[in-house]
Structure 1
């Protein structure tokens, strides 16, 4: 199912739960329209946006986590596929963009923080770090958030980062994809591309 990846040596991936706005964000970055589902779980396989003249691809991976109307085993399989894809391509992935919903992410993380349970978002963030893939958390839908700094501080804490969140501008990027407000994300991604000596890819962000 995930064998459609173009043969490129440089990649940026978007990962995150269903319905956090990954596909909208992808459209904002690439200027290219993808199927964005009105319902969760529409993206079942990776969407690759490939510049054939460039050795570079941006990939929107299927959403994981709870999806209404989607059976547990299907959800688990999607998450396993996403994890395997990232592991298989880790050496080529220059940045992993973890997209979260700024309005609900804290509640979701807190609801799933039991002694035996690591919330998906925190787990994915740690997973990227484990694989030494630079992670940027795109905190989407920030136009709907009133207590912006408190919310972002709370998120930083749950990801194991210090507050205030502003110290981590290369890791936490508040955006509103629907409104086309994605500058903090572009800047964070460029920071990591620069570290990877890939300033040639700045034109995409």
Structure 2
């Protein structure tokens, strides 16, 4: 299911837990209708959108974590496949977008943090860095968050980025994708496209 990638030299990928709004953000980026739903796990295989340029593709990778009616071994296989996809295509991926649920992310990270466990979202953030893929953390559903700066500082802290979060605006982007409020995300991605000298792609963000 993960070997469907178009032959494109430059890529932006979206990764994250199920039901955090990856597909909604994809719809904002591409303008194309993307399957979304209330039930976690709607996206089970990569969705590739190569509408923009002969050498550019945006990919929505399947979410991981709880999925209604999905066996544990299937969930684990999806996580493994996501990691393998990033490793196999790292040289072509310009930006890795880690989408978080701004309301729930800190609690989920804390719940899965122990002496012998690193939460998968934190592992993914470190993996992007290790693979030399520029990470952008799109902290979604911020319209549901009251203590905005405090919550974003906590997100930065959990990812090993020293607060305050505002010094990491090329990495941490508060958004509300469902309401079309994604300007912080667009700005962060454009920063990395600038560094790659890909001004031609900035019009898509």
Instruction: Give the TM bin, normalised by the shorter chain.
Output: over 0.9
Which secondary structure does the structure 2 equivalent of 1:29 belong to?
A: helix
1:198 shift after superposition? 1.1
Question: Following superposition of structure 1 onto structure 2, how do residues 1-205 of structure 1 map, counting pairs within 5 Å?
Answer: 1-51=1-51, 53-205=53-205
Distance change (3 Å), C-alpha of 1:52 and 1:178: closer
> Deviation per CA, 1:14-53, whole angstroms, max 9, x where unpaired?
0000000000000011110111122111111000011264
User: Hey, what's the Cα distance between the residues in 2 that align with 1:195 and 1:18?
Assistant: 30
Distance change (3 Å), C-alpha of 1:52 and 1:100: closer
> Deviation per CA, 1:167-195, whole angstroms, max 9, x where unpaired?
00000000000000000000000001111
Unaligned runs of 5+ in 2: none
- TM-score between both structures, scaled by the size of structure 2: 0.98
Q: Which moved more, 1:140-149 or 1:66-75?
A: 66-75
- Check whether the contact 1:37–1:43 (CA below 8 A) recurs between aligned residues: no
User: Hey, what's the Cα distance between the residues in 2 that align with 1:65 and 1:117?
Assistant: 15
Cα RMSD after superposing both structures: 0.9
Which secondary structure does the structure 1 equivalent of 2:133 belong to?
A: coil
User: Hey, what's the Cα distance between the residues in 2 that align with 1:31 and 1:62?
Assistant: 19
User: Hey, what's the Cα distance between the residues in 2 that align with 1:53 and 1:31?
Assistant: 15
User: Hey, what's the Cα distance between the residues in 2 that align with 1:64 and 1:109?
Assistant: 14
Which secondary structure does the structure 2 equivalent of 1:91 belong to?
A: helix
- TM-score between both structures, scaled by the size of structure 1: 0.98
Distance change (3 Å), C-alpha of 1:53 and 1:97: closer
Distance change (3 Å), C-alpha of 1:191 and 1:125: same
